[in-house]
């Protein structure tokens, strides 16, 4: 369980609060609007109404005591930037901030953000990859080069073992798990037989995966 400071309770911040509640983390939620604070009370440990660009208010929160500080402000970039900078100045352990453009992302990283979330860009990339290929079911980018894809098992691979296919040597791709609905089988061995009723979770460079599965 982690202690998290969540600043900005619009739709994006509210979804974060709901998920953190499901994951049983301790959350202090902050927003300048009382109505937004009221809307997340059932999901958070504590909530406060306040201006996150105000030094005295932010100092009172004890930001050093949180494992992560998330700046989810999306409708006012100046406030997001000032809040991010202030958290860094006050000694926050880790600051994760939301960006709404490439320029915003660069400014946030230069002004105290340890990591930047760019939801529209990330979801746009996911949507393009997910729905432009019939056999891709999910996609997670790990960095600028490597990704995890959930793909259907090619028909010619069904009934064969992982060792027989040797795609690690041929393509530089690792099969991480087999997946069917919510069921995941992570123990992949060389003698694991590929069952056509499952999808595969594969790890590799984007170019290798695209070449192997013709994405």
Q: For residue 150, give every residue at least 6 positions away whose Cβ sits within 8 Å of its Cβ, in sequence order, or none.
A: 136, 137, 138, 139, 179, 199, 200, 201
How many other CB atoms are found less than 10 A from the CB of residue 103? 10
How many other CB atoms are found less than 10 A from the CB of residue 164? 12
CATH class in words for 122-213: alpha beta
Name the token pair of 15. 């979804």
| H-run or E-run covering 214 | none
Identify the DSSP state of 40. Answer: T
pLDDT confidence of residue 215: 66
Rounded Cα distance between 23 and 44, Å, is 11
| pLDDT at residue 171 greater than cutoff 90 | no
- Secondary structure (3-state) at 169: helix
Residues in the chain: 215
pTM value is 0.71
pLDDT confidence of residue 51: 97
Please give the angle made by the CA atoms of 104, 94 and 76, to the nearest 5 degrees: 30
Tell me the average pLDDT of the chain.
90
What's the gap between Cα 47 and its chain centre?
23
β-bridge mates for residue 116, sequence order: 97
Report CA Rg, the chain.
Answer: 21
Confidence of residue 53 (pLDDT cuts 50, 70, 90): very high
Query: What are 97-152's pLDDT values in tens digits?
Result: 999 888 998 999 999 999 998 888 777 776 776 676 667 788 777 776 888 888 88
Domain ranges for the chain, please list them. 3-117, 122-213
Rounded Cα distance between 209 and 172, Å, is 9
User: Per CATH, which fold does 3-117 belong to?
Assistant: Rossmann fold (3.40.50)
User: Residue 13 region, left (φ>0) first, then alpha (ψ -120 to 50), else beta?
Assistant: alpha
The three state secondary structure string of 142-156 is CCCCEEEEEEECCHH
pLDDT confidence of residue 131: 74
């Amino acid at each position: 369980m982690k202690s998290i400071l969540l600043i900005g309770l619009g739709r994006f911040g509210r979804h974060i609060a709901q998920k953190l509640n499901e994951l049983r983390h301790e959350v202090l939620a902050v927003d300048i609007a009382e109505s937004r604070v009221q809307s997340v009370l059932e999901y958070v440990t504590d909530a406060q109404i306040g201006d996150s660009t105000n030094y005295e208010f932010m100092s009172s929160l004890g930001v050093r005591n949180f494992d992560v500080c998330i700046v989810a402000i999306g409708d006012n970039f100046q406030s997001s930037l000032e809040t991010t900078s202030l958290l860094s100045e006050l000694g926050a352990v880790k600051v994760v901030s939301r960006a709404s453009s490439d320029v915003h992302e660069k400014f946030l990283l230069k002004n105290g953000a340890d990591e930047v979330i760019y939801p529209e860009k990330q979801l746009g990339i996911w949507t393009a990859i997910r729905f432009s290929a019939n056999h891709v079911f999910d996609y997670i980018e790990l960095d600028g080069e490597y990704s995890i894809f959930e793909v259907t098992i090619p028909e010619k691979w069904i009934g064969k073992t992982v060792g027989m296919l040797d795609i690690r040597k041929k393509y530089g791709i690792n099969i991480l798990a087999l997946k069917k609905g919510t069921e995941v089988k992570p123990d992949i061995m060389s003698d694991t037989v590929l069952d056509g009723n499952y999808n595969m979770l594969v790890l590799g460079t984007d170019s290798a995966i695209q070449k192997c599965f013709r994405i």
